[in-house]
Every structure is written in C-alpha cells, then in structure tokens.
Amino acid sequence: MIRFNNDYNCGAHPRVIEALAATNEESHPGYGLDEWCERGAQAIRDHAAAPHAAVHFVVGGTQANFLVIASALRPYQSVVSADTGHINVHETGAVEHAGHKVQALPSIDGKITAAQVEEVAHAFETSTVPEHVVQPKMVYVSYTTEFGTLYAKRELEELSAACRAHGLYLFVDGARMGYGLAAPESDVTLADIARLADAFTVGGTKCGALFGEAVVLANPALHEGFRSNMKQNGAMLAKGWLLGLQFATLFEPVGADAAVAGEAAVGAGAADGAVAEGETAGRPLVAAAARPSAGAEPLYLAIARRADEQALRIKAAFARADVPFFIESPTNQQFVVMPDDVLDDLAKKYAFEYEQRIDAAHSCVRFCTSWSTRPEDVDALVADIGALARAGRLA
Amino acid sequence: MIRFNNDYNCGAHPRVIEALAATNEESHPGYGLDEWCERGAQAIRDHAAAPHAAVHFVVGGTQANFLVIASALRPYQSVVSADTGHINVHETGAVEHAGHKVQALPSIDGKITAAQVEEVAHAFETSTVPEHVVQPKMVYVSYTTEFGTLYAKRELEELSAACRAHGLYLFVDGARMGYGLAAPESDVTLADIARLADAFTVGGTKCGALFGEAVVLANPALHEGFRSNMKQNGAMLAKGWLLGLQFATLFEPVGADAAVAGEAAVGAGAADGAVAEGETAGRPLVAAAARPSAGAEPLYLAIARRADEQALRIKAAFARADVPFFIESPTNQQFVVMPDDVLDDLAKKYAFEYEQRIDAAHSCVRFCTSWSTRPEDVDALVADIGALARAGRLA
Amino acid sequence: MIRFNNDYNCGAHPRVIEALAATNEESHPGYGLDEWCERGAQAIRDHAAAPHAAVHFVVGGTQANFLVIASALRPYQSVVSADTGHINVHETGAVEHAGHKVQALPSIDGKITAAQVEEVAHAFETSTVPEHVVQPKMVYVSYTTEFGTLYAKRELEELSAACRAHGLYLFVDGARMGYGLAAPESDVTLADIARLADAFTVGGTKCGALFGEAVVLANPALHEGFRSNMKQNGAMLAKGWLLGLQFATLFEPVGADAAVAGEAAVGAGAADGAVAEGETAGRPLVAAAARPSAGAEPLYLAIARRADEQALRIKAAFARADVPFFIESPTNQQFVVMPDDVLDDLAKKYAFEYEQRIDAAHSCVRFCTSWSTRPEDVDALVADIGALARAGRLA
Amino acid sequence: MIRFNNDYNCGAHPRVIEALAATNEESHPGYGLDEWCERGAQAIRDHAAAPHAAVHFVVGGTQANFLVIASALRPYQSVVSADTGHINVHETGAVEHAGHKVQALPSIDGKITAAQVEEVAHAFETSTVPEHVVQPKMVYVSYTTEFGTLYAKRELEELSAACRAHGLYLFVDGARMGYGLAAPESDVTLADIARLADAFTVGGTKCGALFGEAVVLANPALHEGFRSNMKQNGAMLAKGWLLGLQFATLFEPVGADAAVAGEAAVGAGAADGAVAEGETAGRPLVAAAARPSAGAEPLYLAIARRADEQALRIKAAFARADVPFFIESPTNQQFVVMPDDVLDDLAKKYAFEYEQRIDAAHSCVRFCTSWSTRPEDVDALVADIGALARAGRLA
C-alpha cells in the first residue's frame, strides 16, 4: 500500500528520531523549562524575526488552537473563522467547549477576506444591542487552509490591517505552515506571519516532527498566564524538552546536500529522473543549492519543499489527464474528482482520503504528500494516472 | 409616545399585580418548593395534557434556553437551530459559554425543516470521523419565531418525527408561546407542543407576567438534576412562589366577560367599534364567548389573542396601504419596510423597533403589540397609516 | 405558624409593592437601560460615597456572586473564601462551574483574617511551580457572614490592605448587607465597604425587596464587559426597571415617623412595650429620630435595623434562659443549641431552621428575623422561652 | 550531577526508544485507531484481567485526570479527593476549570478512608437542601499517593464498597502505578485495581515511557463518548500509535535475564554487590527469577521494581543514619528532613526536590528514583549519607 492519505501517517524525519534517541539518557528540568525548549524557541524567534515573541510547545493542533483562542478572549468574545476552518468543523467543538462562539463566515477556497472581517466588526460596532451579541475579538485563518490553498501576502496584510483597525487579534493556524511557506507559489515568510499576526502556530506533527506544535505569541498582550492555561488544560508536557528538541532540530539550517534530501524521503530509492510521460518532474533538490537562501534554510522548510514538489508532480499528472480539481491547491494536498470505479481500482494500490460524494458516479478524494513521501511512489501514481487517462477511464 | 417597540415594555397584567400584592404577606417555603409553584405547574401540565411533565420556573428566557440545552447535552453534543434563532444571535453566546456548539442552519421565515434536520443527523451518522465533529443531539425551534411566524402542526410533527428517528431532542422556545397559540392562523395547541417536543418553555415575560418563564420537560429523560443545574446557574429564585403564583394566575380559565377584556387593555378607553376606514376591526372580545372553548381558555391565551388581533389590525392597515412586509407574520410582531422620512415622522408619535437598513431610503422596522396594547392606540396608528397612504408618502 | 425560619419567606416591604403597582403601566426601555435603574444606581453610589462605581442589578445572590467572580478572574485564578462561605457550601459549585477553584480557608465565626490572606498570597508568590497551582486573585467575604457575624472595620481594613499588597481583589457578599450595617454592634458604613472592597453586593431579596441584588463594582478595572457577562449568563432581566425601581425605593431616605415603622412590621399590632419578664425591649423606633443620621437613613437600613432589634430581643431571651449559643451573632440570625424535645414542641407554633445535630439529645437551630417580623410574634417567642426556662426544660 | 529530583527527568526505557525508532517508517491510521493501540490496550486488559474495559491513551496525567472526571460527572456533581491529591493541588485547578468542585478531605499519609467517603455521601444523602450543594459522585485516590504511600488491598476494597453502596465512582490515578504495584510492601495487583475501581490510569511518563498514560475505563457506564471528549479537549494524539506502541512494549512480558536488568539501569556500570557499609543491598534482579510470577512480569513492572529497590536502599541508608522521615514511603519517593547546610552540600553532587521548610535549620526534601536510576549512583548516595552520619552532621 502506497500512502497518500494524509501527512501524519508515519513517524518523524530521521534527524528528529536520531535526536530523540541521542538525548534519551540526558536529564532535564521538566515542563518546558529546559535548554532544548529555549533553543527551539530561539530558533523560531530568529527565523520569524520576532525577538520578543513568546514561544510555547504543545503536543497537538486542536490543543494549540483552543488554548490560543481561550487564552486571548474574555467570555463574551468570539473568534471569526471561515466556515471550512478546522476549528469550526474538525475539532469537536473545542472552541465552544472552551466557551466561545465561532462566527463562521462563507469562504472561497477555504479563505476569508478583509472585507468580511470589516463587515463583522462593523456589525458589532454599530449594533444597537451590543450586550446581546458576542463581540468578535479574534480572526482565525489557516496557512495553508484545510484545502491546501494559500493567502497571498497582500491578503494577509489586508486581514491584519482590518483586525488592527477594529481591535481584533489575528491568529494563523500553521498546522501545515511548512507546506505553505515552502510552496513555489507562496510569497509569504514566517517573518511576514509574525509581523502581521498576533499569534500563530508552527506545526510539527504534519511537517517532520514526531508530534508537537509551536505556539508563537507575537503580541505581548497575549503572553500573561499562557503557561498556566497550558497546565490547566493538560497541555504542558512533563518532558517538555521532547518538544523543544524536535523544533530545535527542525529549525537547524541545512545545506542542499544530497544526504539531507535522501533522508527526507525515507528509504527513497528511485531517481527523480526516472519519471515517465513528459511530466514536469519535481524540481531536483540539487537545484535548490543555486538559490541564495537555500543554504540557510531550516530542515523544516527543506523537507516541506520536497513534499510540495511531489504533490505538484501529482497535480500535473491529473491536469494532463484532464481530471477536474475540486479546488486548486498549490501545496501538499490535492483534491480531485474522479469516477468511483477508478477510485475502487486505485484503492487497491494507494491509500487516499475520501472527501465527499459529487454525483452518482463521482467522488472527491484527497491525495496528500508529506516529508516522508518517496519520489518513486509518486512515479508510480503518475504512471498509473497516465495509463488510466490513455484508457479513457477518467473521461 | 405610543409604544409598539416591543412586548415587554411595561409591567404585568393587572391580575398578576393584584395576585402579587394580595399574597405579599403570605409566608412560603423558598426555592420553588411551595404551593403556588405546584399550582402553576399543575395548571400548565393540565393545559398541556402532559401529566408527567416536570415544570420549573425561571426568571428569564436566555436562562431557560441555556439551562435546558446544557442540562440535556453531553459536552461534545450540539444543538441545531435556525441561523436566525434567538440562541444563535441574541443571547451573547450563552449556549457556547455553556460549552455547546450551535449548528446554525439556513432558514426561511425563521423556520427550519425536518429535511434539514434529517440531513444534519445523516451527516453525523455517516461521518468517517465522528469523534472529530460535534454530535447533533437537540433541535431548537421557536414558537413564534423571532419573526413572528408559526410552524404548522404538520411541520412540527415532521420535525418531531425526524428528531425521534435520529435520537435528537426537540426543544421549543416559547418566549412568545401565547402569541403563537392564540393566533387565528395557528393550528397548534399546547398539548401538541407537549406531545411533539421533549422540552419547551411557556414565556411569561412577554405574555402578561411581570417576569418569568416556565420550563416544561416533557421527556422524563431530561428530568434528573434539573433543579441542581438551576441552582448552579443562579436560576433558582429564592422566592420561587413569585413565579408559580404568576403562572397560576395566567393559567386560570377566564370567561369571556367584558371586565377581563377591559383589564387586558390597560387603561383602555376607545371602543373597538370606532375604528375608521373600513379596516377589519379587531374581533370584538364578546364574540369569543360564542366559541366553544372560549369559556375555558386561560387568561394567558385570552390576553395573547387580543394582542394578536391588534397586530393584525395594524397588518391590515399596512396591507391596504401597500406597504411591503419584510416577512409575513400572523402574530403580534409585524415587520414592514418603509421610507426613512416617514419613519422619522412616525417616530415622533410612536415607538417601534428599528431592524435594519434595506436601501438608501428605506428601512425595516417592527411594530409589536402585547397584552398591554390599547385598541385606541392601534386606532391612531391605523388612521395615520391611512393618511400617509392617501398622501402618497408610502409609495 | 409564626415564621422565624429565614429572611426571605414573604414578599416585599409594602413600599416596594406599592411602587411596583404604581408604575405597572409605565413603559420603559428594557435590559436595565431605564431611568429607574439609573436612579437606583445613583442612590447606591451616593449612599456608598462611590461616585465612579458601576452598579448593576441582578435577580439573585448566587448569580451575583459567580458573575462578579468569573468576570474578574482569568481561567487559572482562584477565589479565596472562608470554608463556611456561601460560595463554598451553598451554591451547588457555581463558582467551580464557572471554572474557578474556591480556595477554602479555615474560619472562626464564619470569618477569615488578613493574616490568612497574606499566607495564601505568599504561598503562591514563593511557589516553585507557580504554573501548577491556581493563582489566588480574589478574596470573598460576607457581610454579614452566614452565621450573622460581622467583620469589624479594622478587620476589613486589614483584609483590604492585604489584598492590595498582593494584587488580589476584595469582594464583599452583601446578601444581608442591611442587617450588617444596621446592627448596633457594627462600626462599618456602606462607604467603608466601597472604599475597602473592589466589588460588593447590596442584597435586596432578604432585605425588603421582592427580589434583586445590586452589584457594585467599585474598582474600574472590573467594569469592562460586565453587562455582556450578565446577558451571557442569563442575568440581565428584560424588565430591568423592576430591579432599579425596588432599589430606588429602598434607598430613599425615610424619616423616623411611626408610619414607616408600622409598615416595616407587616400588619404589626402588639406594642413593643408589652414585652414581658424584664427583657431589654427592642429599641423603640422613635428613639432613632434622636440620632443625627437617622433622618437621612434609607428605608433599606431602617427596616433592617428593626429586624436586628427583634433578633436581639430573641437573643436576650435565650441568654436569660441560659440557652447556649452555637455562635455569637449580633444580627438578624440567632443560632442556639436546644434539647430536641423542646424543639419538637416549639415547632408546633414557630418555624425555625434546623441546622445540625449536636449530640444525641440536642440540635442547633436558627431563629431568623427580617424586615417583615412582627414585634408581637417576637413577644410570643420571648414569652415561651421564658416559660420553658422556668419549667427547667432548657437545662 | 546525579539526579534523584524526580522520575521524569530523562527519556524512555531503551526498549521504548528502540520500538519508536524501529517503527518510524511504518504507516498507520491516525487518532488511536491503529493496531499498536489495540495491542497496547489488549495487553493492559489482559494484565488487569478486565476483558471488557475500554482503554484509551493520552499524553499526560493532568489530561487523563480531568478527562476521566469531566466525562463521568454531570455539571452539579463533584469529585472527592484527599486534600493532598494531585488534582487538588498540582493541576492548576483543571478539574474546576472543567466545571467540577473537588471536595478535599483531610488525609493521613496522602490517603483517605472509606469512613470519610461514607460521611461525605451520607451528608449529601441527608441534606435538607440537596440542590444547593454539589453531589459527590466520584472518589479520586492515587496509587501510589503523592507521598509514595500505598493503599492496602483491604483499604481499596473498603473504599470500593463505600463507593458502590452510595453510587459513587472510584477513580485511581496511577501516574506511578508501576512503582506502587511493584513495591515489596504492596498486596495489590492491577487486576485488583480493575476489579475495585470504575476507572484508573496506568502511568507511562514516570514509569518507562517517553510520554503517555493509559486510561482504563473498567465500568462500561463510563465508555460512551470518551473519544469525543478526548478530541474536544485536545487529548487525541494524531499519531496515536506512538502511545499504543509504548504501552505494548512496556506490557510485554520479560524474563529475568541480566540483559533486561542492564537496560533498565541506563548505562549502569557498578555492580550492586559493591554497596558499602552493610546496607541491605538492592535485591539482585536474578533473584526475581525464582519468584513464580517473575517470568511473566511485564517490563513495566520489572523496571518499576528495580526503581523501588533502589529507593529502599536509600531509605535504609537514611534509617541507619537516623535521618527522620517526613512520611514513611515504601516506594520510589523518599521524603526526609535534613539540616539545611547538609542539603547545601549534597546539592553540589545530587539533584533532589525541595519540598518545604520544617524549621529554621531543617527542610523536607524528596529523593526520587525511577526506572533510569543507576545502582552506582545510589551507591554513591548511600556512601555519602553514611559519611555524613559518621561525621555527626545529620544529628
């Protein structure tokens, strides 16, 4: 079974596992007050050009999201989100459980706009019964969104400006931050995020770590009491260094050497050059060396970049085969609409995620790459898509 | 100033005030464990033909709503509501504060359908990730809705059947139950509500009481611990008999005598017969005596009926003047769209509630009657609408 | 049955009922934004010499308590209370339901000391694991306490100083504020409370109102969002003026005329002079006129003063009979230990509250007076106690 | 620095790390629905002789505790705990944050008794105002307690009987379950716990795992919705197999071979036989082979047994030196009272945990062993204690 079903179906990047094993017998203070957490935090602060940000490490994304939201809001305040936002649809009502309404806005491609935020803020500010309605106080967006799409830097700047004009916090859920920042189409850096948002996360679980998310509180107004809230919500890991160590490892700069690339694709064997049928092959990793910033890139982005490249090879194959996209994604998740009988056949060889029924004979499915995706597995899928197209089964 | 702005802008029906004054020096057990509460509860059980229902009295509607919802749901369960539902838009997120997501559905005329409930239930039942989403466990509807509209008995039966088929509770918010049941268009009785819903409220605050809502738990599965939840949420009135006494008074059967009618219209002076311009005059109260059930009707319905009648006189006046309705309401709230300059003029004489801007020159406003509305005040409004129409100002 | 069981077993002082009846047909804005609420608030601000305090009116005491506490605290902060405090033992865990730990301290006579507060604050400040423990942020005391006892002004000054030295809020639950301030033994004024506390309540339910508590937020840091929290917790009365009107009535200054006194004792008939057996009779109300401040005293204190006086007559009778006190109370609640057979006999004529078993043959019970206690009923009890003593049944 | 400060200051037992590394490239379903979780759960069910128990894996102990408690209780119900219980003093009010009062009882050696539980239950059952007080519904105890002490099987049986007689759940916090079960003094097995308790945890974080706690719901009444509650509280690990794998590894039976023993003491070098001064040396691991059950013992117990043995060597050394114990512990935590100047000297070589000041010159400190404690480090401490005693510095 070749797995494209999600980006968290196997362990950690080898360097992370090595780091965990190598330090296993070291002794540390507990609860995140250790040197590794400080190193991981500093690496993120450096990379985000946010020297005064508070960085905390938690185990999971739902935990990170409701902690940031509940810690920032007073009881009568709400968080504004795309209706498709993870907090609105896939966290079992964790934000509401923490006491806050999620004000869900209609979204296009998983995104909301500054104009929508302005409208929500304006509606509250001009309400004749302000104490009878929740006060929008935070805007939640995801980078990448649940559909793999990206906000352009200009869009984030507009969202940030709208938030600041109306006294709302901007929170960027970065469970897939790596795949977003590393996408060829992205014009956003982590420093942009840190400059524009009040809080954001840097996801480890889906981006090379065994587990763990970094919570970055760029706005000092959000600092007070965060660790107490963590502990109270069971989000303070006793052996906190396990998290700091992973992020310190993932944010170490890597060169463009083949060894790293080889690692990133766990057990990779097939050469990229072997890809068939004229596809635009994944950008060879050596090419990265030519880019000025490549040498200083943290492992986190290097492995995400590879994952995006493999996803874009799959996307190109679907495009060549005229398979319709459910949504246009420039990152590691690809959503396509295919005939059910073809999906049945593909499912014998590949794992992918069923999304939803489209019509009596077609469904939307997701193919997802990750830091652990092997190029040769993508080769196989690309070849099979081509064969299906030639056989007229994708029409 | 003649007030049509809402249905809770003055005190209580005179009989309620009299009852409170007459019993002021009586001594009672506290916390709702008194004889008046038992009498009020029994009157409601009798009228609802629900001998096994638990009836509790609380002070306000928001309190009643979140208590019923939070008491019935486990933490990961949600309540389904029209997007326009009171719990979704006018209770400052009280349900979310109590930990539960409100799943808001698109609505027409403030109403949702059994088909929508089926769809929500089906989506959960067929979810591939049921533990990642909230479980819909209760459906919330209002009778009347926020727009004064009514569910037909058939619609409630379908909603109830859908809920029971999928294991959901049906909860009917009856803050304006009186105005709903008493409306000429209504084909629903309180016994229908008790038969079809698992829980409902019978609103006093807007329907003749000084304050207070009766919570009726028709489904025994909802009984356990309700009083503890009341106390914990500050909803157990120390002098609970004040609530029981009011409901006992409001649910006393009244005859169709003029004296009651005279009371109902506080300080009423003008005769209904004096209405001008060929309008369909409010049904004279004496006529009620001819109807078989009239003699046994509780005061609660008698006074609501009068309020509905006055509202329908206003509605008829607007219809004759070709004023467009924002929504068609058969009860005590009438929503119309009028030119802003006309509204400015009307506002010098009448209080009404501004709802929203429609276009550059028009707005939606609400005219609301209640048990305390005086027919002669309606006469005046009807006359003024006619005059404005004749002057061509409503075009 | 003569009732000494509690201080909320009948309606309202006649002036309150009159005010409600007289204004019943007036029309008001809803939700506490009316003129009566403003007048009631201003009367309290004036009496408390706290011109900048925010005053809100809610229906009940449990509601008032958890609202003040939850509105002031962040999630990881706690409130410190006597172990016997109402929030710790008689509110069904409302504070914990709102998310906060009640740190209960051992108490003497229902009171805690500044030294205890210092100790709790110091323990937190010097904790080596501050994020693993709750942060004490508010101190809750009651005036009077659940046992009817009083803090001396010096004790409150010390508590206040301890709180301010350590950044804690001081909150005074004044459900029985009237009985406290009016007690002969009290050296505290409402202005003292307002000066020393950050928040306090002025109880109406037990002190002459039909229902209602005033929440006074003396510290501006507690003002923001309070009305939103009220609405979210179902504590914003639709017809808010009902509360404002009652407090405006209760805080109107009264002279020392007999008419007021006559009212205060609902249906009072027996002259105080008729008391038997050399007891120290209740101080005659006319005497109050001699005191400089008496003329300006609000009705609230005038009627509480009478209740305290009646309680002290009962206390004196028990003292003369050598009945042991469970606790020494200078206010309207008297706790005594009596033989069970005597209690059985007394229960045929008087209602009183059973507190707890003391030994195989004795129990602690409470005799409670209120603004509605009639002197002739106290006469009867005083006489019966004397008779029991003479019969040797209280030994 | 030789570390006796706590039992979670280094990584995982080597076998756990090996398992994580060996399976790193395997692909698994997410969220605990994988084969490793099923294997880990089954191993625990087998070992606990609880074939119908539900077993869930979460990351941390605070998380496990509030999840079990909040999932079992309705809003107005409380959990009863020793005042020294972890949930009462070291979890930042997590249980209260989840809405429930912790009813703290005075404790001896960190333990409460069945008689105390009976008393709490009786007080509620006979309350005249049951809706004004929280309903005790669960009893929380720890095995081992925070002080390392143990409930005897008879004590647990009595607690369990008291709980069942009054309809309360019994919950055993097993953060240090291994050290408890493996203690020579213990007469309790995991099967006893499963038989007597409704829910318990089996701690991994302090007992050989990298992180993780198993939640065992022995009572089927507690099963429903637990996974939804986990997800809603951020306690469902995306890569759930990481937890299942660790527990599957820890609950694999091990023989009594030296290799295992060698592993257990990470990097252990010194022979146990080298201990000085006539102390009762740690029971050699080979001896374990002679005991009937030894061959089938899971790794979890084998390594805990070693830790207890090392702690008991330290205890014996203190006893020989006449150092007073703060509390008598038969497990891996030892609490002693020592002169401050001696502690200052010891702190240069050893890490231990400061507990509290005893008097001007003495403090209580904790020496803690774990699965990772090396016998030669204990040798050193034992020798140093002996030397201090001989120098008269411990008097």
Burial C273-294 (b: 16+ CB within 10 A, else e): eebeeebebbbebeebeeeeeb
Stretch D302-312: mean pLDDT = 98
CB A232 to CB D94 under 8 A? yes
Nearest CA in chain B to A91: B132
- The beta-carbon neighbor of B231 closest among D71, D132, D225 is D132
CB D230 to CB B75 under 8 A? no
CB D225 to CB B76 under 8 A? yes
What is D274-287 written as a DSSP string? G--TT--PPPPHHH
Q: Which residues of D touch A267 (CB under 8 A)?
A: 25
Distance from CA of D93 to the nearest CA of B (A): 18
Stretch B155-180: mean pLDDT = 98
What's the pLDDT at A296? Answer: 75
**Mutating which of B84, B88, B97, B122 best tests the A interface, going by the most A Cβ atoms within 10 A?**
B97
Q: Which residues of D touch A266 (CB under 8 A)?
A: 24-25
Q: Residue B284: is its pLDDT beyond 50?
A: no
Q: A281 vs A24, which has greater pLDDT?
A: A24
Distance from CA of D6 to the nearest CA of C (A): 14
Coil, strand or helix at B174: coil
- What is the helix, strand, coil percentage profile of chain B, to 5? 40, 20, 40
What's the pLDDT at B222? Answer: 98
Q: Which residues of A touch C76 (CB under 8 A)?
A: 225, 228-229, 231-232
Round the average pLDDT of chain D to a whole number and report it: 91
Q: Which residues of B touch D132 (CB under 8 A)?
A: 31, 231
What's the pLDDT at B256? Answer: 55
Interface partners of B (3+ CB pairs, < 8 Å)? A, C, D
Q: Residue D279: is its pLDDT beyond 90?
A: no
What's the pLDDT at A230? Answer: 98
- The beta-carbon neighbor of D76 closest among B31, B135, B232 is B232
- The beta-carbon neighbor of A133 closest among B92, B96, B97 is B92
- The beta-carbon neighbor of A76 closest among C74, C129, C228 is C228
- The beta-carbon neighbor of B237 closest among C9, C60, C206 is C60
How far is B69 from C234, CA to CA, in rounded Å? 13
**Mutating which of B101, B357, B363 best tests the A interface, going by the most A Cβ atoms within 10 A?**
B101
CB A133 to CB B99 under 8 A? no
Task: Kindly state the percentage of chain A with pLDDT values over 90.
Answer: 88
Round the average pLDDT of chain A to a whole number and report it: 91
- The beta-carbon neighbor of B131 closest among D76, D132, D231 is D231
CB C232 to CB A70 under 8 A? no
CB D133 to CB C92 under 8 A? yes
What's the first-to-final CA gap in chain D, in angstroms?
26
What's the pLDDT at D32? Answer: 97
Nearest to B356 by CA among C305, A123, C237: A123
Helices (H) and strands (E) in chain A, counts: 16, 13
CB D231 to CB B31 under 8 A? no
Coil, strand or helix at B354: strand
What would the pLDDT profile of A40-98 be if each residue is shown by its tens digit?
999 999 999 999 999 999 999 999 999 999 999 999 999 999 999 999 999 999 999 99
DSSP E strands in B126-225: the ranges are 135-142, 169-173, 199-203, 213-217
Residue linked to tokens 């490793």? D36
Distance from CA of A96 to the nearest CA of B (A): 5
**Mutating which of A2, A7, A10 best tests the D interface, going by the most D Cβ atoms within 10 A?**
A10
Residue D270: which pLDDT band, with cuts at 50, 70 and 90? very low
**Mutating which of A31, A95, A176, A231 best tests the D interface, going by the most D Cβ atoms within 10 A?**
A231
What's the pLDDT at D393? Answer: 94
Q: Which residue positions in chain C have pLDDT lower than 70?
A: 256-295
Q: Which residues of A touch C74 (CB under 8 A)?
A: 224-225
Which tokens belong to C153?
A: 């002004």
**Mutating which of B33, B37, B76, B137 best tests the D interface, going by the most D Cβ atoms within 10 A?**
B76
- The beta-carbon neighbor of D97 closest among C75, C92, C102 is C75
The arrangement of strands across the sheet holding C135-142 comes to C54-58, C213-217, C199-203, C169-173, C135-142, C77-82, C102-105
Rounded to 5 degrees, φ, ψ at B214 are -95, 130
Residue D330: which pLDDT band, with cuts at 50, 70 and 90? very high
CB A242 to CB D210 under 8 A? yes
Which tokens belong to C213?
A: 């508590």
Residue A268: which pLDDT band, with cuts at 50, 70 and 90? very low
CB A76 to CB C232 under 8 A? yes
CB D351 to CB A27 under 8 A? yes
Beta-carbon contacts of residue C330 (< 8 Å; ≥ 6 apart): C148, C149, C150, C183, C184, C185, C186, C308, C312
What would the pLDDT profile of B34-93 be if each residue is shown by its tens digit?
999 999 999 999 999 999 999 999 999 999 999 999 999 999 999 999 999 999 999 999
Q: Which residues of C touch A31 (CB under 8 A)?
A: 129, 131-132
What would the pLDDT profile of B347-378 be if each residue is shown by its tens digit?
999 999 999 999 999 999 999 999 999 999 99
Q: Which residues of C touch A130 (CB under 8 A)?
A: 228
Stretch D172-180: mean pLDDT = 98
CB A234 to CB D236 under 8 A? no
Distance from CA of C11 to the nearest CA of D (A): 21
Distance from CA of C329 to the nearest CA of D (A): 23
How far is D216 from D223, CA to CA, in rounded Å? 10
What would the pLDDT profile of B199-224 be if each residue is shown by its tens digit?
999 999 999 999 999 999 999 999 99
The arrangement of strands across the sheet holding B169-173 comes to B54-58, B213-217, B199-203, B169-173, B135-142, B77-82, B102-105
Q: Which residues of A touch C71 (CB under 8 A)?
A: 75
What would the pLDDT profile of A376-388 be if each residue is shown by its tens digit?
999 999 999 999 9
Distance from CA of C385 to the nearest CA of D (A): 26
Rounded to 5 degrees, φ, ψ at A320 are -60, -30
CB A229 to CB C135 under 8 A? no
Distance from CA of A394 to the nearest CA of B (A): 26
- One-letter amino acid at B13 equals H
What's the pLDDT at A256? Answer: 55
Q: Residue D263: is its pLDDT beyond 60?
A: no
Distance from CA of B7 to the nearest CA of C (A): 10
Q: Which residues of A touch D10 (CB under 8 A)?
A: 24-28
Nearest CA in chain A to C229: A76
CB D96 to CB C99 under 8 A? yes
**What ipTM does the predicted assembly reach?**
0.91
Size of interface A-D (CB pairs under 8 A): 149
Q: Which residues of B touch D231 (CB under 8 A)?
A: 76, 131-132
CB B239 to CB C91 under 8 A? no
Burial C226-243 (b: 16+ CB within 10 A, else e): bbbbbbbbbbbbbbbbbb
Using alpha carbons only, what angle is made at residue C82 by residues C80 and C87, rounded to the nearest 5 degrees? 75
Task: Kindly state the percentage of chain D with pLDDT values over 70.
Answer: 90
Q: Which residues of D touch B231 (CB under 8 A)?
A: 76, 131-132
Q: Residue A266: is its pLDDT beyond 80?
A: no
